[in-house]
Chains A and B, each alone.
Chain A
Amino acid sequence: ETGVTQTPRHLVMGMTNKKSLKCEQHLGHNAMYWYKQSAKKPLELMFVYNFKEQTENNSVPSRFSPECPNSSHLFLHLHTLQPEDSALYLCASSQLGLGKEETQYFGPGTRLLVL
């Protein structure tokens, strides 16, 4: 595997379900990110992890719970979601600390539908 991978690619869940999204980066980066993309809206940053430590929580509801066990893996645990949470969830990684030019590389995303 190369780049950034995400599983599952598609997920349908009920509002009472608990599910997890998984992201793995094979680029040797030290930072990982979760983004949400809703229809016709810009990508919204949700969480940032730098060296496994959460450095940003962009006012995300507690029904989204991130976990970063190491610098290569990132999870997003989902619990009691609402239909308006249906969106494309994207994971990205980058190498922070190289100066200003820190490009983020994205995975293919998980298309989530909450019924």
Chain B
Amino acid sequence: DQQVKQNSPSLSVQEGRISILNCDYTNSMFDYFLWYKKYPAEGPTFLISISSIKDKNEDGRFTVFLNKSAKHLSLHIVPSQPGDSAVYFCAASQGGKLIFGQGTELSVKP
């Protein structure tokens, strides 16, 4: 049973618009959540994270929202740029051990 799910395998967005990537989890013991970005033939690159004691964290164009009651996490990218096209993975941590979602492939069209 997957504890972390990204139900959208792909997302296409126009340049300049907002990209919203979603992630759901089942384990209420997760205490730290992360988003990674992955280009083909490269390893995942850490993007942004949020502690379970917060509901929002912002870093430039990237904002992560956490809704603990719904066990839902989202990443907002605004404005989206063609260079943001990649696979995005959410991950949840318990005691330093990460559980990853399946990934969402974002395509930002010029």
Do A and B share a complex? yes
- Interface positions of A (Cβ within 8 A of B): 4, 6, 31, 40-43, 45, 48, 56, 90, 92, 94, 96, 100-109, 111
CB distance from A99 to the nearest CB of B (A): 9
In the complex, number of A-B residue pairs with CB atoms less than 8 Å apart = 56
From 24 to 38 in chain B, residues with beta carbon under 8 angstroms from any chain A beta carbon are 31-32, 34, 36
Does the CB pair A90–B32 fall under 8 Å? Answer: no
Residues in chain A near residue B97, CB distance under 8 A: 45, 48, 56
Which of B42-50, B62-70, B73-81 binds A?
B42-50
Does the CB pair A42–B93 fall under 8 Å? Answer: no
In the complex formed, the residue of B with least CB distance to A58 is B97
Residues in chain A near residue B51, CB distance under 8 A: 100-101
From 2 to 37 in chain B, residues with beta carbon under 8 angstroms from any chain A beta carbon are 2, 4, 31-32, 34, 36
Interface of B, secondary structure class, is strand
A100-B31, A102-B32, A107-B43 known; A42 and B102 CB under 8 Å? yes
How many B residues touch the partner, as a band?
A: 20 to 34
In the complex formed, the residue of A with least CB distance to B52 is A100
A-B contact pairs, 9 of them (CB 8 A): A6-B43, A41-B102, A42-B99, A43-B98, A45-B97, A100-B52, A100-B93, A109-B41, A109-B43
